[in-house]
Amino acid sequence: MMGARSRRIWHRIKPQTFLVYLGALLLLLWTLAPAYWLLASAISPSHELVAYPPHWFPDNPTLERLQAIIGSKMLRASSMQTMAAPAAFFRRAILNSAIVASTTTLLCLGLGSLAGYAFARLRFPGRGFLLILPLALQMLPPIALVIPLYSLVQALGLIDTLAGLILVYPSFLLVYVVWVMTGYFQNIPEELEDAARVDGCSRLGAFFRIVVPLSTPAFFSTGLLTFLLAWDEFLYALVLTSARAKTLPVAVGEFSTQFGIDYGMMMAGGLLASVPPVIIALLFQPLLVRGLTTGSIKG
């Protein structure tokens, strides 16, 4: 009976369905294979990395590199030492990235939601202009601004400090927050606020007591996206930091010396730098998707 039934199912599978599954399989391969190689390279011993025929699955996986980075210790093998030296500073970079990305996010959410509220609720001269102009401005690429911003940060004495980065990062994040929050606030019925104001709340009071709690999902999804974008930033970090405030994207590149690159260490560092954003992306995927599609301002 089972045989007949499965045959019947087999007959019922249309070629189109088959194509869909084939497509999904290819898509999965395309998505996962490079990511898998990042992981495998990080834990393969050096000689297995370059071996042919390739060791797609390392025979003797090693956590040595990851330990070197997380434990901030130097690998003692004579020749690995130069390559491993930055490992000692990688942990600091992880901390820096976390601080910079989260503080920038909070800063942008705070300032951006205030402005967003004004744009969503209040009528004032110049509203359209003030809403649109920054939209154009924030499209200016970092390379067009980095030299003057270097002078600015230098003048403030903030070169190679986390504060310097936190000051500069809103330049490409703030407008996004303002726009998404404006859109979100507009969809909250004004009557709710009116009711609170009748009860004696100030405008700002109503904002904090009514609008902000209702907007928690928007804050969260916008915040996640802002965090990821700040985590990813490279050029400003490259130019504005040198040692103490170095962030992860810059630190990943440091596993290279005058004479070349240690791909194993780079992959190990890259793996660690990818873990937080990947976890966020997979855990909060629906939220992020909503943030990305409603706010198609910055990718």
Span 94-123, contacts to another protein by CB under 8 A: 95-96, 99-100, 103, 106-107, 110-112, 114-115, 117-119, 122-123
d(CA 99, CA 12): 56
Stretch 194-213 residues interacting with another protein (CB under 8 A): 199-205, 208-209
SS3 261: strand
- Could you tell me which of 81, 63, 79 has the C-alpha nearest to residue 71? 63
Question: Are 164 and 247 spatial neighbours (Cβ–Cβ below 8 Å)?
Answer: no
Stretch 239-268 residues interacting with another protein (CB under 8 A): 239, 242-245, 248-250, 252-263, 266-267
Query: Where does this chain touch another protein (CB under 8 A) — which range of 3-11, 65-73, 213-221, 236-244?
Result: 236-244
Number of neighbouring beta carbons within 10 Å of residue 112: 24
Residue 132, interface with another protein (CB under 8 A)?
Answer: yes
Q: Cα dist. 127→147, 181, 297 in Å?
A: 31, 15, 19
In whole angstroms, how close is the CB of 162 to another protein at the nearest point?
5
Q: Binding mask 270-299 vs another protein (x if CB under 8 A, - otherwise)?
A: x--xx--xx-xxx--x--xx--xxxxxxxx
Tokens of 200: 């004696």
Residue 77, interface with another protein (CB under 8 A)?
Answer: yes
# residues contacting another protein (CB under 8 A):
154
Residue 188, interface with another protein (CB under 8 A)?
Answer: no
- Using CB under 8 A, which of 23, 29, 57, 194 touches another protein? 23
Question: Are 219 and 112 spatial neighbours (Cβ–Cβ below 8 Å)?
Answer: no
d(CA 167, CA 46): 40
- Using CB under 8 A, which of 6, 60, 72, 81 touches another protein? 81
Stretch 36-55 residues interacting with another protein (CB under 8 A): 37-38, 41, 45-47, 49-54
* Cβ contacts of 116 within 8 Å, gap of 6 or more: 177, 178, 179, 180, 181, 182, 184, 185
Residue 227, interface with another protein (CB under 8 A)?
Answer: no
Q: What are phi and psi of 177, to 5 degrees?
A: -60, -45
Cβ proximity to another protein: between 1 and 231 the closer is 231
In whole angstroms, how close is the CB of 97 to another protein at the nearest point?
9
Residue 63, interface with another protein (CB under 8 A)?
Answer: no
Dihedral in degrees, nearest 10, Cα atoms 279, 281, 282, 287? 130
Q: Binding mask 149-178 vs another protein (x if CB under 8 A, - otherwise)?
A: xxxx-x----xxxxx--xxx-xx--xx--x
Element (H, E) at 256: strand 256-257
Cβ proximity to another protein: between 67 and 294 the closer is 294
Residue 72, interface with another protein (CB under 8 A)?
Answer: no
